[in-house]
Amino acid sequence: MTKLKSAKYLPLVFVAASAFTSACQKQTNTETASTEVQSPVATTPTTAGTDSTAGKYLSQPLVPGMYTADPSAHVFNGRIYIYPSHDIEAGTPENDNGDHFDMRDYHVFSMDSINGKVTDHGVALDIKDIPWAGRQLWAPDAAYKNGKYYLYFPVKDKQDVFRIGVATSTSPTGPFKPEPKPIAGSFSIDPTVFTDTDGTSYMYFGGIWGGQLQRWATGKYDSTAAPEPATGNALLPKMAKMRADMLGFEGPVKDVRILDENGKLIPATEHNKRFFEAAWIHKYNNKYYFSYSTGDTHNIAYAVGDSPAGPFTYKGVVLKPVEGWTNHHSIVEFKGKWYIFYHDTQLSGKTHLRNIKVTELKHNPDGTIQTITAVKS
Ligand code: FUB
């Protein structure tokens, strides 16, 4: 893809310079307005697509009738549930802060197999029902514990500061009821919640530039902070242990350290390796895999550690740049195979109108991940 062909929510300086761990419990079926949305998805390269360019892509859109992005996939009760952003053409002009990503609700989708039909379970949460929300519902995640499903979401508050909220439901498809306030101590974007095999849950979060992580570098909000450091170490994603009730943090927010092969923190100048946004974590062969988007270099990279708290050592690229500016994913095991859910802009050709996809992900015998190229250049 062409680098920086579209300014997402990057500051002018950059434009000028470079132009859900599943728990299996009976699912309560309270969803309404479910709709079957599609025919099977191709998970291997094929020319037998729906149009003449389909062969260019490794996979086809899972939801052709709606724009969806940032897919967080989980297996609950033997079924795949996808919690994506719901992209819309809101008419909000594109600017350096990503105001054009002006999403207003979430739908939940599900499928009983990777190649099966996708069901749209309708609106699971609407921004108008979140008392503290201002605008821009960005990438969510979901978790299950205590007989309840939890939807975690970033949204700007009425002061235009990104915070992370939580909403609950007895069904994986919602509707989700939001808590009256954002999670205390939360900030920035892209929450993901990982529950380890011992039952402890952790939230990982953060995103630089339009995601505002840099504004919290001193511990206090500073709207004048540069989008990221030009020298020194790259900004680090954040993590916190979740309380038993899953509605807040237990203990402090900590840095997630991503190290190079020499045990040093990744420098701010290494844009092809440094954390930008879209944190995800999965556990494979007793190792913890922290994966994330490198933002302006458009990769999904990964780093491996021995503890959910890190440190994580950079290992390489999971998913090469896709069509569109953003790259955002989730990694989930289903029936003995691993899959990556991701998005691109195949259906619209527009940065802010994306469509979710899935393809298989393979771990090598040495624990590394086989790099995926999802689009032919
Ligand atoms: O969908 C809005 C934002 O774009 C997400 O929060 C980021 O991860 C990027 O995909």
- Model confidence pLDDT, tens digit, residues 193-251: 999 999 999 999 999 999 999 999 999 999 999 999 999 999 999 999 999 999 999 99
Q: How confident is the model at residue 115 (pLDDT cuts 50, 70, 90)?
A: confident
DSSP 94-129: P-TT-TT----EEEEEEESSTTS--EEEEEEEEGGG
Q: What is the mean pLDDT of residues 67-71?
A: 98
Q: Output the pTM of the full model.
A: 0.90
pLDDT at 97: 86
Q: What is the mean pLDDT of residues 21-27?
A: 28
Identify residue 57 by its one-letter amino acid code. Answer: Y
Residues with Cβ within 8 Å of 187's Cβ and at least 6 positions away in sequence, in order, are: 161, 162, 163, 164, 212, 213, 215, 216, 221
Omega into 191 within 30° of 0, i.e. cis?
no
CB within 6 Å of ligand 1 — which residues?
Answer: 69-70, 85, 101, 138-139, 189-190, 207, 277-278, 326, 328
Is the distance from CB of 60 to CB of 357 less than 8 angstroms?
yes
Taking the CA atoms of residue 277, residue 282, residue 287 and residue 293 in that order, the dihedral angle to the nearest 10 degrees is: -20
Q: What is the mean pLDDT of residues 86-90?
A: 97
CA 223 to chain centre: 24
Handedness of CA 259, 261, 266, 271 (dihedral sign): negative
Give me the domains of the chain, ranges plus CATH numbers: 11-361 (2.115.10.20)
Mutate to test the pocket of ligand 1, among 68, 190, 329 (most ligand atoms within 8 A of CB): 190
Radius of gyration of the chain (CA): 19
Catalytic site includes residue 179: no
Nearest CA to ligand 1 atom 1: 138
Provide the b/e sequence for 218-246 (b: ≥16 CB within 10 Å): eeeeeeebebbbeeebbbbbbbbbbeeeb
- Kind plus residue range of the DSSP H or E element containing 68: strand 67-76
pLDDT at 40: 32
Residue listed under structure tokens 């306030």: 181
Residues with Cβ within 8 Å of 82's Cβ and at least 6 positions away in sequence, in order, are: 62, 71, 72, 73, 108, 109, 110, 111, 118, 341, 356
Q: How confident is the model at residue 101 (pLDDT cuts 50, 70, 90)?
A: very high
Q: What is the mean pLDDT of residues 165-171?
A: 98
Q: How confident is the model at residue 36 (pLDDT cuts 50, 70, 90)?
A: low
pLDDT at 20: 27
Omega into 321 within 30° of 0, i.e. cis?
no
CA of residue 183 to ligand 1 center, whole Å:
19
Q: How many CB atoms lie within 10 A of CB 30?
A: 12
The C-alpha angle with vertex 69 and arms to 50 and 118, in degrees rounded to 5, equals: 55
Which atom of ligand 1 is the closest one to the Cα of 136? 2
CA of residue 138 to ligand 1 center, whole Å:
6
The rounded distance, in Å, linking the Cα atoms of 191 and 164 is 7
Q: What is the mean pLDDT of residues 298-316?
A: 98
Least confident of 8-17, 83-92, 134-143, 170-179: 8-17
Tokens of 28: 């309560």
Is the pLDDT at 5 greater than 80? The verdict is no
pLDDT at 95: 83
Least confident of 36-45, 255-264, 332-341: 36-45
The rounded distance, in Å, linking the Cα atoms of 296 and 326 is 8
Is the pLDDT at 25 greater than 80? The verdict is no
Residue listed under structure tokens 């009983």: 112
- Model confidence pLDDT, tens digit, residues 131-160: 999 999 999 999 999 999 999 999 999 999
Alpha carbons within 13 angstroms on the beta-carbon side of residue 285 total 10
- Model confidence pLDDT, tens digit, residues 265-291: 999 999 999 999 999 999 999 999 999
Distances (CA, A) of 341 to 120, 202, 249, 289, 300: 16, 21, 27, 16, 12
pLDDT at 9: 45
The C-alpha angle with vertex 258 and arms to 364 and 299, in degrees rounded to 5, equals: 60
Q: How many CB atoms lie within 10 A of CB 80?
A: 24
Q: How confident is the model at residue 52 (pLDDT cuts 50, 70, 90)?
A: low
Q: What is the mean pLDDT of residues 164-190?
A: 98
Catalytic site includes residue 222: no
The rounded distance, in Å, linking the Cα atoms of 170 and 181 is 20
Q: How confident is the model at residue 55 (pLDDT cuts 50, 70, 90)?
A: confident
Which atom of ligand 1 is the closest one to the Cα of 101? 2
pLDDT at 22: 29
Instruction: Tell me whether residue 217 is exposed, middle or buried, using C-beta atoms within 10 angstroms of its C-beta: 0 to 12, 13 to 18, 19 or more.
Output: middle
Q: How confident is the model at residue 377 (pLDDT cuts 50, 70, 90)?
A: confident
DSSP 65: T
Is the pLDDT at 26 greater than 90? The verdict is no
Mean predicted lDDT score pLDDT of the chain: 89
Which atom of ligand 1 is the closest one to the Cα of 328? 10
The rounded distance, in Å, linking the Cα atoms of 65 and 54 is 16
The rounded distance, in Å, linking the Cα atoms of 225 and 190 is 20
Is the pLDDT at 338 greater than 50? The verdict is yes
